[in-house]
Amino acid sequence: MSIDAITPIDGRYRDKLQVCSEYFSEKALIRHRLVVEAKYLRAFLEAVGRKTEAEKTSKFEEIFAALSTEEAEEVKKLEVKLGHDVVAATAFFEKKLEEEGLSSLKPFVHFGLTSEDVNNIAYALAVKSFIHEILIPEILTLVEKLVELAENHASTPFLARTHGQPAVPTSFGSFIANYAYRTAVQTAKLKDINPQAKIGGAVGDLSALAATYPEIDWQSFAEKFITSLGLEFNPASTQILPHERTSEILQTVAVIDSVLANLCRDMWLLGALGLIEFRKPAEQVHSSTMPQKRNPLLFENAEGCFDLAANMLNYMSSRLLSSRLHRDLSDSVIKRFYGTGFALSLLGVKNTAQALNQITVNREAMEKEVETHPETMAEIAQLILRKHNVPNAYEAAAKGIHDIRQTLVKHGVDPNVIDPTKYIQAAQKKAETLIKKTRNIAKTI
């Protein structure tokens, strides 16, 4: 952790988020750019019939994939001198070609490309890799914790609240299973959204390449190159990639963040109601003045992370759709903050999972709440009364459980049909169904 870091991502939370630097740091961006440049040079040389020379360049993909910090700093020094980040990367590439005795290939580095051809692919690869290698596995770990909690409490009586007021009995497992299922569904959607990328030249027409090598179908070349990287080709670019697909990815992560932020708020409320208890390591202090305090710190931290991440990602997703004419640089600075939004999402997921390990469900308190709110049987009572054609059934059910039972007896109906266990059994069945569906979804991710 750096005490001088400007943001807590690289300071206070560095230990939990250090992995993000492998995808979104300046070094990572330089590395991705150089790998893209190396892959493009090889593909370009093959396309123009220089296959022998193309084979000699294959080594650079591995060289750049293992880019050292010292080499990245060398690129940054070139950027200071040249005033352009992508040109600095190409200059570094040309130097490496010289060192390998391949100076004759220097003129073909970045041939016919614009900087955004490299950048859009680099970002797409970084985002895809982070989501599949880091974010989704962490979310699935959290989903499984929720599933286990729902499984353990599928039949635990739990007083449902609507508008904050006692409503009807349910089960705690059913309540938690909802969150597990919703998160799994959105995660499956995220997994299936493939980033788009493009090669288009200065304004998207591939005109310079077409004029220089008119015998080659550059549109087909561009599509083949992009798909070879595991990305989807977008043919409708200007100088920049249209961001609709990127926006879809950002919005989906934002939806997951918002769902989980609400989970954190609900767990906070359940703690305030005394239905769950928050544990803490013996050596930790949760208040500087109240020794007894055991606060939902991790849930609160995660809630803040999720809300901030969702707002950042949603803003990015809409703002990136705007670009003046064929190019402006207003999107460039926004994309440099992808890592901030994703890191906050990751921190929220990690802290929520950790928080779930530190709660105790007060089953007795949950059962007592159901028992002490017999008025929540009014819903089933009025339906039973209506079933038996009792007039003014809704009004009769509103009078209270004692009057309801008398009304039932008066009409020859067994008053024992007013039984909260019926609700809890239905909730248990739903919980078990959602648990099964959630696990099936998780297997496909």
Give the Å distances, CA to CA, from 373 to 167, 170, 172, 174, 369. 9, 13, 16, 19, 6
Whether the Cβ atoms of residue 150 and residue 174 lie closer than 8 Å to each other:
yes
Q: Is 273 helix (H, G, I), strand (E, B) or coil?
A: coil
Structure tokens at 1: 């952790």
Specify the pairing of strand 196-197 against strand 232-233: parallel
Is residue 288 annotated as a catalytic residue, yes or no? no
CA distance 146 to 150: 6
Is residue 287 annotated as a catalytic residue, yes or no? yes
Please choose, from the candidates 17, 124, 119, the residue with its C-alpha nearest in 3D space to the C-alpha of residue 342.
17
Burial class (CB in 10 A: 0-12, 13-18, 19+), 52: exposed
Q: Is 182 helix (H, G, I), strand (E, B) or coil?
A: helix
Q: What number of CA atoms fall less than 13 Å from residue 396's CA on the CB side?
A: 21
Of the chain, the end-to-end C-alpha distance in Å amounts to: 33
Please choose, from the candidates 124, 131, 93, 126, the residue with its C-alpha nearest in 3D space to the C-alpha of residue 110.
93
- Return the residue matching tokens 């009409």: 411
Catalytic residue among 104, 287, 330, 332: 287
For helices 85-99 and 26-47, angle between their N-to-C axes, nearest 10 degrees:
60
List all residues 6 or more positions away from 426 whose beta carbon is below 8 Å from its beta carbon: none
CA distance 92 to 96: 6
Structure tokens at 432: 């078990």
Q: Which residues are catalytic?
A: 163, 287
